[in-house]
Structure formats: structure tokens, C-alpha cells
Structure 1
């Protein structure tokens, strides 16, 4: 498992309610509450990298990644990193187009 990238989708999507379930009730406008750095962390979650790899990639400490993930899940009302990764994958195109946030004032 160490060093492997995790793929999201399939049965996991159905179990946690992607595409019409609980995650579908999170509005994209909720991304406005995330800081630019939280958005950056959120946008790379679907790549399946662990915290250490994300930290290296983003040039921040591993514990900072953990703190951002905790804040992201809390602010978006999610239960886990998996839900955050699935939601990020669903919104990937929007996140790439608007890297500094969607609908930011």
C-alpha cells in the first residue's frame, strides 16, 4: 500500500452517496469558505497521494497538510478525507479553471 495511489469511484461512490446522495448536497459555493491554500490541497486530493507526498508536492509540512484536511472536511461538512477526495474529483474541472476559488468576491 505504501507509495500506491488510491483510485476513487465505483462501489465507494455508491456507499457514501456520490452522484445524488449526501455529497451531492454540498454546493460548489461552499468552496468560498476555503482559504487559497486549502483549495490547493483540496484540488490535489483525487490524485491519491498520502499526506507525506502531498506535503512534498505542495512544499509544506506534513502536519500542515493534515491541518488543512481537517479544516476542509469541517468547513464542507464532510465526514472523511475520502469524501473530500471524491468531492474534489467530482469538481476537478471547476477547480482547475478557478484555482484561487470559485465565485470568490
Structure 2
């Protein structure tokens, strides 16, 4: 049985338009459509896992984090990386992804 396509697999396949800020053979990074920070990007592996703890290969995990850092540094000097894992952990789209949050003038706990 094949899993249903996620929102992110449909974006990767270009079935749904998105503001792509980075792409290579393994990852895509897009702007979040409901940003929680002045800069809110999502780094999405093209190899689908529903949640972070399904990634068991250390090299794969390292590549994901290194890609997120690379993309973050292209958009901000200071940033926050965030992963929600599982419904009770705040995950909404069940396709592993890293949120990059940045761009606050006075830090993430300020209003700007």
C-alpha cells in the first residue's frame, strides 16, 4: 500500500505552488505560508519520513541539520531551528521538516 501524498510531496512534485528558497537533490526549502516569525522557512527532505524519529541513519540526520543551517545562514545571522514530532508535539504535516525562524529585531520573545 502506498502512503497518501503529503502537502510537502505535492510541493516537491510541483503540484502545489510554493516560494522555494533552496533546492538540491535531497532537500527543498520553502517559505511558510503562515509565518510565525519575520523569516519562517521550512527545510523538507525529499525522502519522506512521517516524523523525525523515523530517521535512524546518523548521516541522513546530519545532512538534514547541515542543510537547515546552510539555508538559515543564507537568510539570517541569528536563527532558531525547530522540529515538531508527532501530533502532541505540534506536528501538523506528517512529513519530517525543520522550521527556520529568524528576523526578529529584538529577539524571538519580542513583538518585533
State whether TM-score is above 0.5. no
Structure (1 or 2) with the larger CA radius of gyration: 2
With the length of structure 2 as denominator, give the TM-score of the two structures.
0.28
With the length of structure 1 as denominator, give the TM-score of the two structures.
0.30
Task: Name whichever structure is richer in helix by fraction.
Answer: 1
